């Protein structure tokens, strides 16, 4: 797989930062080349001996076909022990296909895919399974659905799914189980097939979820899986009754609790507030829904909404609407202002060992510009990834701290090198970002992280501690790296975060341990 070692002089680097405020360690692999330019890390798991199993997906470009996975086993110093390439190939009868996700069960790796088999007129979900020591893949069918039942065929990441999409896979927090949802064709009733499997591919739930609303009036938010194998499905419903509301959003949120033999639904309103989206969170027997709220409309945000529910009967135990703190408004605007934010997108929600909730988001928006040419013209789209928004809520749903980290980044294409990856340790929030040469100073003792490019990227770590105070430190200077690292695609395993660096076909693995 790796045809060329770019430098035999470059050996494993183990660098430990010294005399610093933010303690971390970094390790780099040797530089290497793949046959395919485009690849990304999709899974990183400790091998039980301080080494790591890394799985990277790859895809051919305009002039090279192929799609599959690189399986790589590294030791504690990121020295490559073993590697294997698995290319996904299908028969001519398979007209559509997509991998929904990967999950590890001890020494066995499962690749879960969803295909349309024309000859059998069915959509088939299967798992290709192999032991990571011999890579002898065998296929097992998980379920199939008649093609006439499928609304449409579309896939996303494992983090969630959209109301108008075909299929998606959701893995629970401890990676012991996964759910697959498939949108079923029904003009009058919103319908989904839900399946739950444990990591050994044993089916635990086969359920048809229906809501007596047309598709456009019911929006799925997300699904979470508890450790005992219960599914919690959150949706946003635009009912005729809510149309009559005089204040707040004209909709209600609905949370369904689904087991192998039961379904229970709880509805709750946001009263005079607007809540564009909520996320359901399950952690150590606690069930809550979290999101941004506004007093004006669905996309201008004033604070964080919190709903706590009983995980067994779905009784609403508590609801809170926490306005952003004064410190947050100073971070954002330089002084406290009665002003609302917009364009916030969920990035990651983390639960700590103390049952706190670390809530991270980013200001994301798209600007379109029409470019006129002598041949007619075209639309150009710029994707903006601006300020980082982070907040810590205690187990009662009250804001402990909320901070805004000023950032200005944009791209017209590949966003792998901008935005950020976040993680948590000991109730401290950490963010890895690429920046330009200088950090810009703003008024009121504020700073702003600026633009980066694939040719010039300084890797930084930002920490917000338990008291809400933040600091930052450079991890790697652009001059120290032969490749820039794809900071938005970091994969977390334990206290370590893994990044892939790439410049052309030249690549390198970076491990940062807190």
Q: Distance between CA atoms of 473 and 253, rounded to whole angstroms? A: 41
Count CB neighbours of 261 within 10 A. Answer: 7
DSSP state of 267: E
Residue 235 placed within a domain: no
Those residues of the chain that have pLDDT short of 50 are 1-20, 154-164
Number of domains in the chain: 1
DSSP run (H or E) holding 379: strand 378-393
Q: Residue 217 in 3-state DSSP?
A: helix
Main-chain dihedrals φ then ψ at residue 91, nearest 5 degrees:
-70, 165
Main-chain dihedrals φ then ψ at residue 468, nearest 5 degrees:
90, 5
- Name the nearest CA neighbour of 470 among 450, 445, 489, 451: 445
Task: Give per-residue pLDDT as tens, 338-397.
Answer: 777 888 999 999 999 888 999 999 999 999 999 998 888 989 999 999 999 999 999 899
| Pair 259, 179: CB distance under 8 Å | no
Structure tokens at 326: 């004064």
Q: Is the dihedral of CA 334, 335, 341, 344 positive or negative?
A: positive
| Pair 64, 90: CB distance under 8 Å | no
Residue 307 placed within a domain: no
Indicate the length of the chain as a whole number.
514
Residue 362 placed within a domain: yes
Q: Is the dihedral of CA 7, 11, 14, 17 positive or negative?
A: negative
Residue 285 placed within a domain: no
Structure tokens at 12: 């494993």
Q: Distance between CA atoms of 211 and 221, rounded to whole angstroms? A: 14
Give the rounded distance of the alpha carbon of 11 from its chain centre. Answer: 32
Residue 465 placed within a domain: yes
DSSP state of 185: P
Q: How much is the pLDDT for 3? A: 39
Residue 383 placed within a domain: yes
Q: What's the whole-model pTM score?
A: 0.89
The parent domain of residue 434 ranges over 342-480
Q: Distance between CA atoms of 144 and 167, rounded to whole angstroms? A: 12
DSSP sequence for 282-336: EETTEEEEEEEEBSS-TTEE-EEEEEEE-TTT--EEEEEEEEPPHHHHHHHHSS-
Hey, what long-range contacts does 87-95 have (CB within 8 A, 24 or more apart)? 88/113, 90/115, 93/117, 93/118, 93/119, 93/120, 94/118
Q: How much is the pLDDT for 6? A: 34
Q: Is the dihedral of CA 362, 289, 159, 496 positive or negative?
A: positive
Residue 364 placed within a domain: yes
End-to-end CA distance of the chain: 31
203, β-bridge pairs: 197
Task: Give per-residue pLDDT as tens, 453-470.
Answer: 766 788 999 999 999 998
| Pair 189, 211: CB distance under 8 Å | yes
Cα separations (Å) of 5 from 101, 373, 484?
30, 45, 18
- Name the nearest CA neighbour of 501 among 7, 33, 189: 33
Q: Residue 67 in 3-state DSSP?
A: strand
Q: Distance between CA atoms of 302 and 488, rounded to whole angstroms? A: 26
Q: Distance between CA atoms of 436 and 275, rounded to whole angstroms? A: 35
Q: Distance between CA atoms of 49 and 67, rounded to whole angstroms? A: 30
Cα separations (Å) of 430 from 24, 294, 427, 459?
11, 27, 10, 13
Residue 32 placed within a domain: no
DSSP run (H or E) holding 48: none
Structure tokens at 124: 């088939």
């Amino acid at each position: 797989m790796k045809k060329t070692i770019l430098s035999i002089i470059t050996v494993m680097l183990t660098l430990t930062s010294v005399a610093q405020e933010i303690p971390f360690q970094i390790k780099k692999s040797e530089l290497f080349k793949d046959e395919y330019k485009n690849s990304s890390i999709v899974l990183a798991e400790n091998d039980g001996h301080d080494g790591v199993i890394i799985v990277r997906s790859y895809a051919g470009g305009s002039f090279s076909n192929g799609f599959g996975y690189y399986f790589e086993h590294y030791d504690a110093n990121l020295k490559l022990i073993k590697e294997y390439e698995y290319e996904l190939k299908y028969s001519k009868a398979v007209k559509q296909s997509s991998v929904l996700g990967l999950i590890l069960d001890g020494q066995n790796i499962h690749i879960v895919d969803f295909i349309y088999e024309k000859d059998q007129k069915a959509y088939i979900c299967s798992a290709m399974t192999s032991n990571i020591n011999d890579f002898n893949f065998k296929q097992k069918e998980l379920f199939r659905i008649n093609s006439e039942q499928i609304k449409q065929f579309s896939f996303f990441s494992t983090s969630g799914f959209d109301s108008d999409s075909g299929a998606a896979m959701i893995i629970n927090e401890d990676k012991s189980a996964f759910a697959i949802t498939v949108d079923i064709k029904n003009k009058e009733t919103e319908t989904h097939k839900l399946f739950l499997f444990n990591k050994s591919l044993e089916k635990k739930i086969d359920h048809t979820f229906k809501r007596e609303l047309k598709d456009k009036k019911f929006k799925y938010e997300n699904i979470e899986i508890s450790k005992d194998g219960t599914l919690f499905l959150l949706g946003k419903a635009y009912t005729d009754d809510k149309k009559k509301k005089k204040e707040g959003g004209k909709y209600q949120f609905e949370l369904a609790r689904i087991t192998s033999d039961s379904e229970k639904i709880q509805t709750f309103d946001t009263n005079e507030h607007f809540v564009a989206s909520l996320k359901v969170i399950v952690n150590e027997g606690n069930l809550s829904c979290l999101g941004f709220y506004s007093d004006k409309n669905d996309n201008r945000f004033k604070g964080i909404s919190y709903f706590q529910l009983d995980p067994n009967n779905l009784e609403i135990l508590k609801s809170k609407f926490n306005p952003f703190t004064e410190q947050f408004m100073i971070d954002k605007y330089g002084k406290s202002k009665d002003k609302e934010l917009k364009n916030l997108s969920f990035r990651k929600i983390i639960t700590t060992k103390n049952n706190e909730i670390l809530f991270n988001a980013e200001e994301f928006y798209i600007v379109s510009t029409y470019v006129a040419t002598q041949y007619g013209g075209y639309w150009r789209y710029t994707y903006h990834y601006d300020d980082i928004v982070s907040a810590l809520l205690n187990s009662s749903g009250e804001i402990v701290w909320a901070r805004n980290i000023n950032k200005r980044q944009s791209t017209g294409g590949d966003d792998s090198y901008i935005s950020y990856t976040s993680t948590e340790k000991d109730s401290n929030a950490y963010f890895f970002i690429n920046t330009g040469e200088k950090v810009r100073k703003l008024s009121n003792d504020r700073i702003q992280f600026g633009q980066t490019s694939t040719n010039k990227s300084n890797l930084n770590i930002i920490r917000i501690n338990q008291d809400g105070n933040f600091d930052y430190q450079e991890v790697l200077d652009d001059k120290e790296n032969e490749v820039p690292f794809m900071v938005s695609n970091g994969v977390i395993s334990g206290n370590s975060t893994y990044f892939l660096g790439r410049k052309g076909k030249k690549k390198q693995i970076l491990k940062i341990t807190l």
